[in-house]
Structure 1
């Protein structure tokens, strides 16, 4: 078959297939990169907010303890009252920060994650955050510190699982690659077969 129209058609089909394959993989890579970028930002913000919440909770607990000691020791009345008022303002400012961070973190955490292990960790983490926030309002610094350490351990596990999710990719991305790569191979094989049959 020496008809130039057939060769032109074959070249056109091959070029279209190659263009489609590259466009498809480019689209997949772009989407995956964007999803990974957003998830990494989410991980970074969760890490920062958790660290800030836990450290501020321990600070408030420590300030409450100092305030209680000032009241108990009752130095010169005027000096003690001034120091107590200063501590109370610092406590109030820090406690407002704790509440804001607790709400922000709660909004980031998915209590209904599809991954059962991550869902359990998320719920346990939210429970610990509530405990830390409540303990911050007490004078028991050591208990607040222990609670914060436990919350930090759970947060580390969550961050690790989320990082693994970023590395391996979303399920839809993995399925698309898994299903489409064989399809592209079959298409290429078909084109090669067509070219060898015609020539």
Structure 2
């Protein structure tokens, strides 16, 4: 009996360790396609077609216009053509050269990770491995970028000394206008521009918990 149990658990272990985890493509018709996405890279521009390996190990291709959602383990992605300012906010990489607080947009088709779903949706992009955030409220058809930018102040002529960094927190206006999470005193407590703070803010908004604080 012990030998049989040992063989059973050994076989189960081998199966679990060799079985490939399934990813899913959800079509616009809500059809689930179990597949393997070996070269899926959210840091790159989305091509017109997505290639995948089906359950029979056959390579297939699907037009991204027919894709509603991509599920990889515990993450969900959508593909959208958006206006994006993808400049970095890392002060180490700015090299003290950026002195413009305005945003510069270009239209790109990118992968958006769905962080918070509900009446207001929070997304994250990682194009060129630069983290940005997007949102969509009930009155929007497509995701819009939450706008935040670090820059260096212009130095006066003959200025000698360290540069000073400043921030353009335009996302404050966007949240107040479209996703206002007001307290009992009708005041806004704006989240920091990072994943945990934004996730918590959108979750509170979607669950009507804004007035509790």
Q: Give TM-score scaled by structure 1 length.
A: 0.23
Greater Rg over alpha carbons, structure = 1
More helix by share: 1
Q: Give TM-score scaled by structure 2 length.
A: 0.22
